[in-house]
C-alpha cells in the first residue's frame, strides 16, 4: 500500500482522496497533507485519517510519506515536483503539468534522476471508450484520419470570484484551458499524436476575470487538421470526433461511441460503456507503477508535449498568428 501525502485540500484535492481512501484494492492511502487554508480542512482531514501539516516542506519531511499528490495552483507544479523528487518521493501531479515546456522538462529530468515515478492526472485516458478508440485506430477502422474535433466545456467560471487563484489570468491563461481544455489537448495527443501548428482565438466576452471562450485550429504532425473549443461559461460538454477515409468515430460524453462508415465500409453502430471512477483508476495506476508494476499509461514525452501545446496556444492567442509547436 503506497502511503501518500495530499498537497492542496480544495474541492479537487478532496475528490482525489475520497476516490481511494479506505479502499484496499486502490493500492494507495493518504496519511498526511497540507493546504493553504488549514482551518477549512481540519475536520475533513481528521475524518479521512490524514495528519494535517503546516506546509509542503513538513509533508516532504514526514517519514511515512512515500509519494506526493499535488492538487495545487498551476504555477507551483514544476517546483513542487522537483522538490518531491529530491526527497525520493513518487509524484502524481494534477493538470496542467506546468505552464511552460522548459519547466515541464526540468520536472521530468528531476524525477528521472531520482528514479521516482511521475504521473500526470489526465484521467480521460482511463475511459473504456478511449481504449476502444485507440484499438479501432490501430486496426485501421477509420482509414486515413483527415480531421479531429474536440470540445470540452462547463460552467465552472461562474463560481470564480476575485481573489481565487483560478480567477487570476496568470494562473488561468486562456480561461478554461487549465481547468478543462488541457484534458482535450491530451486526448487529441493520445489519439492523433503530436501537434505541429496552432492558431488560437481566446476572448473574455462575459467573465469579469479570465477568458471564457477559447477556440483553436490546428495541424498534427501526421498532416491531419483539428478544431478545438473550450468554454468556461457553458453547459457541461465532452465530445471528441475523428473523421477518416473509411468512416467517422465520435465519443459523445464519456460513455458512448458512435461509428458512421462511408458507403460499403460496414455497418454504423452506437456503443455504450459503463461509468468508471477515473480518479480512482489514475491513482491506482500511479500506485501500481510506484510499486514496480506496469508503467503509468501516459508517457512523459506526451506530458511534456501537452505543456508545449498549451504554451504555444498562449503565444498564438496573444499574437493572433499561427505558431509552430516545439
Report pLDDT for 163.
85
Domain coordinates in residue numbering, the chain: 2-123, 126-274+295-324
Q: What angle do CA 281, 88, 79 make, to 5 degrees?
A: 80
CB 244 within 8 A of CB 148: no
pTM surpassing 0.75?
A: yes
> What DSSP assignment string belongs to 150-209?
EEEE-SGGGG--TT-GGG-TTTSTTGGGTTTHHHHHHHHHHHH--EEEEEEEEE-SS-SS
Q: Is the dihedral of CA 199, 122, 190, 142 positive or negative?
A: negative
Q: By mean pLDDT, which of 67-71, 145-149, 200-204, 319-323 is the weakest?
A: 319-323
Confidence of residue 188 (pLDDT cuts 50, 70, 90): very high
Q: What is the grid cell recorded at 164?
A: 481565487
- Residue 38 and residue 281: Cα distance in Å, rounded? 28
Domains 2-123 and 126-274+295-324 share a fold: no
The H or E element containing residue 280 is helix 278-290
Residue 291 has which C-alpha cell? 510499486
Strand order in the sheet with 90-93: 51-52, 28-34, 2-7, 67-70, 90-93, 118-120
Residue 173: which pLDDT band, with cuts at 50, 70 and 90? confident
CATH assignment of 126-274+295-324? Answer: 3.30.360.10
- Provide the 10 A C-beta neighbour count for residue 163: 7
CATH topology of domain 2-123: Rossmann fold (3.40.50)
| Cell numbers representing residue 217 in the block | 485550429
Which sign does the torsion angle of CA 166, 171, 175, 179 carry? Answer: negative
Q: In what order do the strands lie in the sheet with 256-261?
A: 269-272, 256-261, 247-252, 237-244, 145-153, 225-231, 213-220, 195-203, 323-324
Answer whether residue 246 shows pLDDT above 90: yes
End-to-end distance of the chain based on CA atoms, in angstroms?
Answer: 39
Sign for the CA dihedral angle at 155, 210, 125, 96 comes to negative
| pLDDT one-digit tens code per residue, 44-53 | 999 999 999 9
Task: Tell me the pLDDT of the chain averaged across its residues.
Answer: 96
Where is pLDDT greater, at 178 or 111? 111
**How many angstroms separate the CA atoms of 126 and 124, rounded?**
5
CA atoms of 184 and 229, how far apart (whole Å): 9
Summarize pLDDT for 152-165 with one digit per residue, the tens.
999 988 988 888 88
Host H or E run for residue 136: helix 128-138
Amino acid at each position: 500500500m503506497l502511503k501518500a501525502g495530499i498537497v492542496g485540500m480544495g474541492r479537487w484535492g478532496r475528490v482525489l482522496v475520497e476516490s481511494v481512501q479506505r479502499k484496499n484494492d486502490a493500492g494507495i492511502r493518504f496519511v498526511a497533507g497540507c493546504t493553504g487554508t488549514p482551518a477549512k480542512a481540519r475536520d475533513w482531514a481528521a475524518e479521512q485519517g490524514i495528519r494535517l501539516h503546516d506546509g509542503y516542506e513538513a509533508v516532504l519531511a514526514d517519514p511515512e510519506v512515500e509519494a506526493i499528490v499535488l492538487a495545487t495552483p498551476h504555477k507551483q507544479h514544476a517546483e513542487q515536483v522537483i522538490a518531491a523528487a529530491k526527497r525520493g518521493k513518487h509524484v502524481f501531479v494534477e493538470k496542467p503539468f506546468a505552464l511552460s515546456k522548459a519547466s515541464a522538462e526540468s520536472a521530468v529530468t528531476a524525477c528521472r534522476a531520482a528514479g521516482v515515478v511521475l504521473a500526470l492526472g489526465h484521467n480521460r485516458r482511463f475511459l473504456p471508450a478511449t481504449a476502444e478508440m485507440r484499438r479501432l485506430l490501430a486496426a485501421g477502422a477509420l482509414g486515413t484520419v483527415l480531421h479531429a474535433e474536440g470540445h470540452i466545456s462547463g460552467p465552472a467560471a461562474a463560481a470564480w470570484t476575485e481573489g481565487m487563484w483560478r480567477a487570476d489570468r496568470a494562473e488561468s491563461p486562456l480561461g478554461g484551458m487549465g481547468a478543462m481544455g488541457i484534458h482535450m489537448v491530451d486526448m487529441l495527443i493520445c489519439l492523433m499524436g503530436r501537434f505541429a501548428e496552432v492558431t488560437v482565438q481566446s476572448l473574455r466576452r462575459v467573465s469579469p476575470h479570465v477568458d471564457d471562450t477559447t477556440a483553436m485550429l490546428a495541424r498534427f504532425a501526421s498532416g491531419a487538421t483539428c478544431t478545438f473549443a473550450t468554454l468556461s461559461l457553458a453547459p457541461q460538454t465532452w465530445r471528441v470526433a475523428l473523421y477518416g477515409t473509411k468512416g467517422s468515430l465520435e465519443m459523445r460524453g464519456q460513455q458512448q461511441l458512435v461509428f458512421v462508415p462511408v458507403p460499403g465500409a460496414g455497418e454504423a453502430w452506437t456503443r455504450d460503456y459503463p461509468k468508471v471512477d477515473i480518479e480512482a483508476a489514475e491513482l491506482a495506476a500511479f500506485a501500481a507503477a510506484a510499486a514496480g508494476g506496469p508503467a503509468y499509461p501516459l508517457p512523459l514525452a506526451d506530458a511534456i508535449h501537452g505543456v508545449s501545446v498549451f504554451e504555444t496556444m498562449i503565444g498564438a492567442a496573444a499574437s493572433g498568428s499561427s505558431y509552430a509547436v516545439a
